[in-house]
Amino acid sequence: MVPEPQTRISNRALVVWRISGVITSLFSWIIGGGLVTLGVLFDWPVWIITALIILIVIFSYLITFFFPKLRWKRWRYEVREQEIELQRGVFIMKRTLIPMVRVQHVDTQQGPLLRKYQLSTVMISTAATVHEIPALEMDEAEELRRSISRLARVADEDV
């Protein structure tokens, strides 16, 4: 087997993912709170209300603690002379090879949350697909962008 890719993404990514997990679970609390209020007002069976609360708690835990951790642990990438390799996935492990000669262009992208933590996302486009490396340190992302464009420049013009 091709040796596993080695480079990890920034561990600040974990913080960013947790924060967005908190935001998402806040929404679920608002919706869930509404439903529970409805339940109390209209005398729904107790088990429905209890199940609802338990579900929301589990969901919040998964999305703020469990998934970000696992996702970060699994995310690896490596930029080699002739190809880029990505490895990721929480439930399904995915490994992708992108030949350097097929890379068309590289973009970096940054939302407000990522900017605050000085991270950015690198998007690698081929003629048919787009691949994303999330949450790299900004200078690392810039360096990556530059080295990929340098390596990809030798690529054949023809698709």
Partner 1 sequence: MSDPKRLHPIAAMINMLRQLKELIVPILFFTVFGSRGNEIVFYYIAVGGGLVLVLLTGVLSWYRFTYRVEEGELRIEHGLFVRKKRYIPFERIQSLDITEGILQRAFGLVKMKVETAGGSKTENAEAVLTAIKKEEARQIHDFLVSVKNSKRRDEFEEEVIPISESIIYRLSLGDLLLLASTSGGVGVVISAFVAFFFQFEEIIPHEKVYKEVEHFIANGVIFVSIVVFLGFLLAWVISVIGMMVKYANFTLKKVDQDLIITRGLLEKRQMTIPLKRIQAIRISENVLRQPLGRGAVYIESAGGSALNEEGSKVLVLPLIKKQDIAKTLEPFLEDYPFRPKFNKLPPRALSRYLVRGVVIVVPVAITVSYFFRPWGYISLLFILPSLIWSALKYKDAGWAIEKDFLVLRYRTFVKNTVLMRKEKVQSLTARKSFYQKKKRLATIEAVVKSGHSGSGGRVKDLEDRDVNNMYQWFSRDAHHKK
Of 28 and 87, nearer to partner 1 (C-beta) is 87
Min. distance of Cβ 7 from partner 1 in angstroms?
Answer: 14
80 binds partner 1 (CB under 8 A): yes
Question: Whole-angstrom Cα distance, residue 96 to residue 109?
Answer: 21
154 binds partner 1 (CB under 8 A): no
- Which tokens is 94 given? 């995915």
Which one of 20, 28, 96, 110 is in contact with partner 1 (CB under 8 A)?
A: 96
Contact 86, 130 (CB under 8 A): no
- Which tokens is 144 given? 């990556």
Of 43 and 81, nearer to partner 1 (C-beta) is 81
How many residues touch partner 1 (CB under 8 A)? 28
Min. distance of Cβ 21 from partner 1 in angstroms?
Answer: 22
Min. distance of Cβ 95 from partner 1 in angstroms?
Answer: 5
Question: CB count, 10 Å around CB of 9?
Answer: 23
Of 1 and 41, nearer to partner 1 (C-beta) is 1
DSSP 37: H
Instruction: Kindly list the strands in the beta sheet with 103-109, ordered across the sheet, starting from the edge strand earlier in the chain.
Output: 103-109, 119-126, 130-137
Question: Whole-angstrom Cα distance, residue 130 to residue 127?
Answer: 8
110-129: contacts with partner 1 (CB under 8 A):
126-129
